[in-house]
Amino acid sequence: MNQILIIAGKESEKENLVCLLDCYSTCQILYASNSKQAKELIASETPTLIIINAPLPNESAQDLSLFMTQRTDASVIMLLPDSYRNIKEYNAEEYGILTLYKPFKRSEFERAVKFAIAFENRIAKIQEKNRKLQKQLSEVRTVHRAKCLLIQHLHMSEPQAHRYIEKHAMDCRQSKLEVANNILRSYHEI
């Protein structure tokens, strides 16, 4: 289940944002009234989207939004008063933070939320693909190390070592990785 974290200093601001998010009823809405609560929440939860409603009491929404982009994989939307529009330090787009200036239209907010969630989903797919590729690369490296040991200790050629691992894997009904790990163990290379 997707989670949306709302960080707003006032209860009324939180309620307004929850009303704007009514079409996301399948999402769990989390709430923090300050950065300390928000940081505690992200330690135990993994929100898909973080909405920061500035200004926050005694805290910088800019600093908190940067912290969130560094510590989570969530998309971040920062809601700023219109008076902040020309303040350079609040130009957060370069860090991947979506910025909306208040007052905004409901359609603008909905579009930003849809974009942020779609972006987060796309990033999650890319990260999963990256994990799979990293695993495959690790397996290829392990098999390669095993081949090198066969070449070094049994004086096989590279094609012979490759064939040995493949044949042994088929004969023993094991994966090439399992055979490679057994070879590494037998030569104390693990």
pLDDT digits (tens, 9 = 90+) for 52-107: 998 888 788 888 999 999 899 899 999 998 887 777 665 677 788 888 998 999 89
pTM above 0.85, yes or no: no
Return d(Cα 166, Cα 185) in angstroms, integer: 17
Residue 5's DSSP bridge partners are 30, 50
Model pLDDT, residue 190: 57
pLDDT digits (tens, 9 = 90+) for 164-187: 999 999 999 999 999 999 999 998
pLDDT digits (tens, 9 = 90+) for 101-160: 989 998 999 999 989 988 888 988 999 999 999 999 999 999 999 999 999 999 999 999
Return d(Cα 190, Cα 179) in angstroms, integer: 13
